[in-house]
Chains A and B, each alone.
Chain A
């Protein structure tokens, strides 16, 4: 047998597993360790996200950004209402009690949730 043949044979022998190796148990152990690494990573990311969200919430609460946003929203709503024609049907113009910036935001929120649900459905169906 030539050196090259012998070395080829040797490499094939090295590629063989021992007869008693439990391959399935080994694969399970690798999967478990992968799962553990993922759980740790997601816990870390989730934890950091929660901390970040908490800090952001405190910062928002301490600033007057919410009041200013509400005031801007009120102004914008008043401008929109003033610019609407006076002969609009009541159901479209609102009856005064139900309409307001909050109502508009609720509609926008519901629409966004609906769109998100539809997008999620489309992605998971594919």
Chain B
């Protein structure tokens, strides 16, 4: 038991790339450490894309299982977290396409399953979620996929089966709204702190 906790402590000091190499050699504890480090960010991204908590949890686990199967393909050229977030985003898009839920025409923000008040946590930490709630579903999806999962505009257009111009304008409008909303939130945080 002491050996296992010592091993976990040793792994917690390792860099992601080292852990990924160990995981590629079959060291499951190393992969578990990667899941511990980055699971939260992957789930947060899925919630920001529009998944509810249970779905975000399930899909994040699925994304890590796929990452484990493909860990030999991860060469450490980019961040491990970004690589898994991308896998998770692709899974989510696949799921939405299967459910025929990709609609880039809705103009009003929809209530978010994953962004209830109880989950917003300390002020400041969840500013992004509050700001994203002001975007239309299409804008939120496009901004989150571009800036949260690292999709290029062209990849996004292909993944959403939408014209490149439409995707670009959703990202642009979303970013403009986020910039305004985030500065408003920062200003109100500052006032509250006085």
Contact = CB atoms under 8 A, between A and B. Distances in A.
Chain B interface mostly helix, strand, loop or mixed?
Answer: helix
A37 B125 CA distance: 36
B65 A34 contact: yes
Given A7-B175, A18-B119, A30 B65 contact: yes
Contact of B37 (A18, A23, A28): A23
B92 interface: no
B44 interface: yes
Contacts, number: 94
Interface stretch (B27-35, B98-106, B153-161, B162-170): B27-35
Q: Interface size class for chain B?
A: 35 or more
B121 A15 contact: no
B127 A13 contact: yes
A11 B150 CA distance: 9
Nearest to A38: B28
A17 B88 CA distance: 14
B28 A15 contact: no
Nearest to B115: A18
Contact of B121 (A10, A18, A24): A18
B126 A19 contact: yes
A18 B47 contact: yes
B11 to A, nearest CB: 11
B45 A14 contact: yes
6 contacts: A10-B128, A14-B128, A19-B121, A20-B119, A26-B57, A27-B35
